[in-house]
A and B are shown apart, each in its own frame.
Chain A
Amino acid sequence: MPSQEDRARVPEALEAAGGLRPGVARALARQTGVPEAEIYGVGSFFHLLSEPEVEVRVCQGLSCRLAGAEALLEAARESGLKAEGCQCLAACDQPPALLRRRRVLPALRLDEVRGAGADPGAIRAAAAPDDVWAGQVGPEADDPEHLAINLLGPLDWSGAAFARAASMGAAAVFDGLERSGLQGRGGAGFPAHIKWRGVASQAETERYVILNADEGEPGTFKDREVLLRRPDRVVEGLAIAAAAVGATQVYCYLRGEFEIPWQALEGAITRFDAEGRFPGIAFHLHAGQGAYICGEETALMEALEGGRGMPRLKPPFPTEKGLWGKPTLIHNVETIACLPGIVLRGGDWFRELGRTGAGTKLYCVSGHVARPGVYELPLGVTLDELVETAGGYTGRLQAFSPGGASSGFLPADKRDVPLDFKALAAEGSMLGSAGVVVLDESVDMAWAVAQQLRFFEAESCGQCAPCRIGTRFLRERLDAHRAAVAGAGRGEALAQVAEVAWQMNEGSICGLGQAAALPLTSALEHFPDAFA
């Protein structure tokens, strides 16, 4: 019988074998004892494994398409490369982006692809030479006392926050966390202290901490910057969390395309380890294999266990039954990176950093703004304030997506809504991952919606029917509608949209399916003329 570890090894063993080539699954089954069909099912789920022949992938997300991603893909193919489109590479601030094996080449120009010919290894991105991949962040000159994460701040290897948390004791850490008002930064905004107390109160003493670094929501690239610039905060935050909830094993799950952020995180772990800062806590790094859905916490656990990344039914929640059925605390990178500051300066300090919600927030902004990037601002700033920090609009604002593709589209007259969890929810949208995409009046909203629907269709895991069928149904209906508008007459192509959207929201297992219709329904509500 294959062990838990044998199964967990499968995705990375498939990667090492060059992907799901014929015969690989069978050979791996002989080595591990995991059934060959199961290995095949796993390999076929993840697109970095299932298409081993593809040499480069060009992001076809909304921000990258606005910057010419279609022409870039075309150029790559004309050069003789085996090139495919792919979904968001978390480089929306530096579009268009291309993926070579696991390496993201951002802000790639047509001539940089054409100049390389049929040799993918010869492609050079002037925007990110060598092993550097970092974008614009800010604010540039702010008082670090006012920033919870402070992307531009000096690295701190002292372990002071961990030492302080240890001297405070777990109960005091939980209280501080509660006072801080920290809500999860991955998208759901769940109060962090409830999770921590939930894990700590379990009778089962084998517990785990997971870092969710599977950043993939279109428009979102903040975790990338945190890993690249403040890996010290991430590792120390993980150590604080592990000690407080009684875990000794920390699993870090980074999306497979985060080759460079991986190096930064690994370097930080090595450095802390060398200095013996976090005794008794072991860190394990795992690479995702290409599946947006694995950012969903239970899908991530399935993937960590070596399975197809399909979300689990909840309840039970991970605090009770998580990784390998054990109590598990799982947090987004940004959430974890807030912890050292909260421990050192106190929960009240963090809470007061915010405006309409607690803390500062990393806002990602891309699309039609002067300086796309990641900006740490008080939670609850407005779109105009954010865009001002990012150098201003480059056109007349038509629409914006406040929190990634899942948050749908809001019209320009919602520019004064505070970008926080509550106010956006009240607008039928959400803060989500705070991946703000700005669209000016040159954008055909029906076209923009079509890109988002393609994303969800491609990234639906396929487990539950409302999402599996609904994402494709909506995309096909919108395509039919756009074709009808462009052609002779318009029919009833969108007649079922409202009902399908209702079904997806009510019937889907996880947040992907529940939100996947929102780009279309929100655009139909706010931009009816675009569908006339």
Chain B
Amino acid sequence: MTQPQTLTLNGRELAFAPGETVLEVAQRAGSFIPTLCHDPRLAPAGACRTCLVEIEGWRRMAPACATPATAGMAITSESGRIDRHRKSLMALYLADHPEGFVGSELGAPDQVYQLAERYAAPTDWPRMDNIRAGRPLDENPYILFDATKCIACARCTRYCDEVEAVTAITLAGRGSQTTIATVDNLSLLDTTCEMCGGCIDTCPTGAMAEKIPLLTAARPERELTKVRTTCNYCGVGCQMDLNIDPEGNGGRGKVVKITSPAPGTTTNDGNLCVKGRFAYDFIDHEDRLTTPLVRGADGQLQPASWSEALQRAAEGLLGVAERHGKDALGFISSSRCTVEENYLVQKMARAVFGTNHVHQCAAT
């Protein structure tokens, strides 16, 4: 038996598993190290330089996100040098960032502002004009790229590549003009993009943003109520958070966007697809059925109770079976049903109506 390996973080001895990074060890120990370009789903980039820590015997500070923990390593994550580093780094980020905290928050929280505030970075350094190219003519309905807020951390491009294996977007250009682009700056609609919106989810600043809430002037995320639910577009069971504006719909509340729970907390690991993330406008759509309808003697649909509606459906189905035989019935369930609901549909077909004619649209 080998002893568990240990290192020290700010003098505290911590055990770690082989393969863990300094950041992972610190996070597990509840010790906060700021990050911007880090997403646990992605290979570490070490590019934003926010997570630099001191390691005994190392001349240069090292990125905690990309430095493997080794036995006996003595790490310092709070010191005068590190504090100076965080302050001046965030001040530089701010100099290259649009002014105005509130404006920057309309999409999602802007971690540049959050970290600058946390570390009391100077806010009076001269601002630089934005020179990063965006794609203002990209008419895709969902994903906005605001180049002014981009910090070129490449979380979006790495996510698109490493998690989705789509690679619709890339770092483009060089130096201070480095930006996020598609091939030939085409609209995302003309690329391999699947509109999953994972780029929005992983973006730390709101540079990748969702168009709908921005167009409808949604409130900052901190003023919204999150309600956890299960996506009902298919049977995978992705968890998602409905972001509800409590004052919307005349005080009844209105879903203004959908976000995925943090990576590592649910089975979908922070991922959603185009339907789960963006197709929520049906919730308040005027065509949406909110009560069962039953056709009256005049042939017109009339609102009815659930028991009335189910009664009418049962009568109709049993009538067909009686007149034409059980196999005259067929049941098709929806990919929007859960696995359990699909199980119940086939159970009903076989046990209640006595037919094996049952199918589900996602099976073809």
Contact = CB atoms under 8 A, between A and B. Distances in A.
Real complex partners, A and B? yes
Interface of A: 22-23, 25-26, 29, 35-41, 44-45, 47, 50, 291, 308, 313, 457-466, 468-473, 476-477, 480, 496, 499-500, 502-503, 506-509
A465 B176 contact: no
A36 B183 contact: yes
B183 A468 contact: no
Contacts of B91: 496, 499
Contacts of B125: 473, 496
A460 B176 contact: yes
Nearest to B46: A313
B275 to A, nearest CB: 23
B88 interface: yes
B236 interface: no
Contacts of A477: 126
Nearest to B84: A502
Interface stretch (B165-173, B203-211, B340-348): B165-173
A499 B91 CA distance: 10
Given A41-B171, A465-B93, 9 more contacts: A25-B183, A26-B184, A40-B170, A291-B174, A308-B171, A313-B63, A470-B92, A496-B126, A506-B52
Nearest to B178: A462
B267 interface: no
Contacts of A35: 161, 167, 192
15 contacts: A35-B161, A44-B173, A308-B171, A313-B66, A459-B174, A459-B175, A462-B178, A468-B176, A469-B95, A473-B96, A477-B126, A496-B126, A503-B89, A506-B60, A506-B81
B61 A506 contact: yes
Interface size class of B (residues with CB under 8 A): 35 or more
A465 B95 contact: no
A177 B134 CA distance: 52
B164 to A, nearest CB: 11
Nearest to A514: B60
Given A37-B181, A473-B95, A500-B92, A460 B174 contact: yes
A29 B191 CA distance: 12
B89 A466 contact: yes
B48 A465 contact: yes
B128 interface: yes
B126 A476 contact: yes
A313 B21 CA distance: 14
A466 B175 contact: no
B127 to A, nearest CB: 10
A341 B359 CA distance: 80
Contact of A509 (B47, B152, B172, B175): B47
A478 to B, nearest CB: 12
Contacts of A480: 126
- 3 closest residue pairs by CB, A with B: A462-B178, A41-B170, A35-B167
A111 B177 CA distance: 35
Given A26-B184, A465-B92, A466-B89, A457 B171 contact: no
Contacts of B95: 469, 473
A270 to B, nearest CB: 35
B88 A500 contact: yes
B85 interface: yes
B272 interface: no
B149 interface: no
A2 B177 CA distance: 29
A328 B273 CA distance: 42
Contacts of A473: 92, 95-96, 125-126, 128
A506 B85 contact: yes
A25 B61 contact: no
